[in-house]
């Protein structure tokens, strides 16, 4: 499966939400990473066929999405940011309802629902009302409904928002399982969530795709730009005014500050050690507002 997003732009009146977005995707997990308002949801809504681009096109195995018509939707599974559940429905009834909307045969749907409820670990709760579900359970139910038609492209908008640490782990394992023969595109601004699940990271800023790399490659782009300094409290101001600080730990009368910058911080009498960068540092490097010097 090859999905090409070609020269996609989206304008809302005079606001350019997405600007000339170009990317070719194959099976694997892609994380769209960017700050709030970067354009992630807009790209996902266009891919999910609930919004049209102002310009540009989407191609699946060389065929234009518009040419594919309803066959394009058959390839899709979509979990929007705020998925609307009928809270009085049970998990099972909800999945039956979505199956009917997707035009699945009732008998086939029942078999698929049994399989999916087990897969997302909600089998025990199939007769329970969604109203009593935790965030993670709702998320897994959302994924189950998106998988009903065995999609080849799965789109998940902010799937890890509001999940507790256990639910996050469960989610990561689930995605790893799902992505074997699919294109999975998920958006997030929680960096730690993608470190272990994304085969590639697509970094968006102000509507544009500014970087596309594996997590390892993207981390390597800031090698030599991450440092730890051990400072006295009164020296901290000088550092904060000049550099981006990703983390601070207080240790007795000292502060250990992790700094991300193109320039090695030089403060008289303060030791500066180069560190191995991580994805949190990457996020800070690309997104944090410039500090005023």
Residues contributing to the site for ligand ATP (CB under 6 A)? 12, 15, 17, 34, 36-42, 189
Q: Which is nearer to ligand ATP, 17 or 25 (CB)?
A: 17
Q: Which is nearer to ligand ATP, 27 or 81 (CB)?
A: 81
Q: How far is the CB of 39 from ligand ATP (least distance, A)?
A: 4
C-alpha 211/C-alpha 218 separation (Å) is: 8
Q: How far is the CB of 192 from ligand ATP (least distance, A)?
A: 16
- Do the Cβ atoms of 72 and 65 come closer than 8 Å? yes
- Do the Cβ atoms of 53 and 46 come closer than 8 Å? yes
φ, ψ at 190 (rounded to 5°): -100, 100
φ, ψ at 10 (rounded to 5°): -140, 125
The enclosing H or E element of 61 equals: none
Q: How far is the CB of 108 from ligand ATP (least distance, A)?
A: 34
Q: Which is nearer to ligand ATP, 170 or 189 (CB)?
A: 189
How far apart, in Å, are the Cα atoms of 129 and each of 93, 123, 141, 292? 9, 13, 12, 52
In terms of DSSP bridges, do strands 208-213 and 244-251 run parallel, antiparallel, or are they unpaired?
Answer: unpaired
- Do the Cβ atoms of 163 and 137 come closer than 8 Å? no
Q: How far is the CB of 161 from ligand ATP (least distance, A)?
A: 9
Q: Which is nearer to ligand ATP, 40 or 138 (CB)?
A: 40
Q: How far is the CB of 255 from ligand ATP (least distance, A)?
A: 32
Q: Which is nearer to ligand ATP, 34 or 265 (CB)?
A: 34
């Amino acid at each position: 499966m090859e999905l090409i997003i070609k020269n996609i732009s989206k304008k809302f009146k005079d606001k350019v939400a997405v600007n000339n977005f170009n990317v070719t995707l194959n099976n694997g997990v892609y994380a769209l990473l960017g700050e709030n308002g970067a354009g992630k949801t807009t790209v996902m809504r266009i891919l999910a066929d609930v919004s049209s681009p102002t310009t540009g096109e989407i191609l699946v195995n060389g065929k234009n999405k518009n040419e594919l018509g309803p066959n394009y939707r058959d390839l899709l599974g979509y979990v929007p940011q705020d998925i609307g559940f009928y809270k009085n429905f049970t998990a099972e009834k909800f999945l039956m309802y979505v199956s009917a909307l997707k035009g699945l045969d009732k008998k086939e749907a029942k078999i698929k629902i049994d399989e999916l409820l087990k897969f997302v670990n909600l089998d025990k709760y199939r007769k329970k009302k969604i109203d009593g579900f935790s965030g993670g359970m709702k998320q897994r139910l959302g994924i189950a409904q998106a998988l009903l038609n065995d999609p080849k492209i799965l789109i998940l908008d902010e799937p890890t928002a509001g999940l507790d640490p256990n639910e996050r782990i469960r989610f990561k394992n689930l995605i790893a399982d799902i992505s074997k023969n699919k294109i999975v595109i998920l958006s997030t601004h929680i960096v730690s969530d993608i470190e272990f699940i994304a085969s590639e990271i697509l970094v968006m800023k102000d509507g544009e795709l500014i970087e596309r790399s594996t997590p390892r490659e993207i981390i390597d782009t800031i090698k030599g730009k991450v440092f730890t300094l051990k400072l006295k409290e009164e020296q901290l101001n000088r550092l904060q005014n000049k550099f981006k600080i990703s983390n601070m730990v207080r240790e007795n009368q000292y502060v250990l500050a992790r700094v991300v910058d193109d320039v090695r911080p030089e403060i008289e009498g303060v030791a500066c050690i180069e560190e191995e960068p991580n994805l949190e540092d990457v996020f800070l490097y690309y997104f944090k507002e410039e500090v005023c010097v």
